[in-house]
Chain A
Amino acid sequence: DADVTQTPRNRITKTGKRIMLECSQTKGHDRMYWYRQDPGLGLRLIYYSFDVKDINKGEISDGYSVSRQAQAKFSLSLESAIPNQTALYFCATSDPRGLAGVEQFFGPGTRLTVL
């Protein structure tokens, strides 16, 4: 969905480096999410935020941190990257009101490789 953008789209880094993945949305949604996907597996939730002042850990938050700088921006950081954090990362948004509340809108993904 073009309303949810992620940067960078691809990144190769080395073990121990600090990495930030950024997500921006123009949908005006309050809720934002970060997922990771490993080959052959489904998506697993890392962190989610229901508004600028609300940050919650997901299923696999260890080794990650997030920052909700504004309603439209939600960043995911790997303070010291390790090889098993090599994965495809997705940002998503949702709006809890009305029918839109059932749907999450996903960005195009960031492919991260940690050597």
Chain B
Amino acid sequence: DAKTTQPPSMDCAEGRAANLPCNHSTISGNEYVYWYRQIHSQGPQYIIHGLKNNETNEMASLIITEDRKSSTLILPHATLRDTAVYYCIVRVVYTGNQFYFGTGTSLTVIP
């Protein structure tokens, strides 16, 4: 079941912030928001996850709205190597529940 909705594609200028939106209006109280990315045809790579508070790590920031129905992944200074497909996933953490990757957003960073 598609639990998230993402735009199919986005462009971003190199050096600028890339803001990738995700809608998850049916998210449950115990479901986390995860972001992964897939560069070319490599295996997906974990980026960040969060429940309701904003999160930041060395790769990105995750902003979750107060009602938790949407979130935004922010790559603060996009580089050409950030060109990839970005997947937003909701899932109960630490359970056997599957990751449903959906079709993601294809981000192209433009020189």
Question: Of residues 37 to 88 in A, which have CB atoms within 8 Å of B's CB atoms?
Answer: 40-45, 48, 50, 56, 58-59, 88
A104 and B99 form a contact (CB under 8 A): yes
Size bin of chain A's contact surface: 20 to 34
A106 and B43 form a contact (CB under 8 A): yes
30 A-B residue pairs with CB within 8 Å: A1-B43, A4-B43, A41-B103, A42-B100, A42-B102, A43-B44, A43-B99, A43-B101, A45-B98, A45-B99, A56-B96, A59-B98, A88-B41, A90-B43, A90-B44, A92-B43, A96-B94, A102-B34, A102-B93, A102-B94, A103-B46, A104-B46, A105-B46, A106-B43, A107-B43, A108-B42, A108-B43, A109-B42, A109-B43, A111-B41
> Residues of B with Cβ closer than 8 Å to A?
32, 34, 41-46, 49, 87, 93-94, 96, 98-104
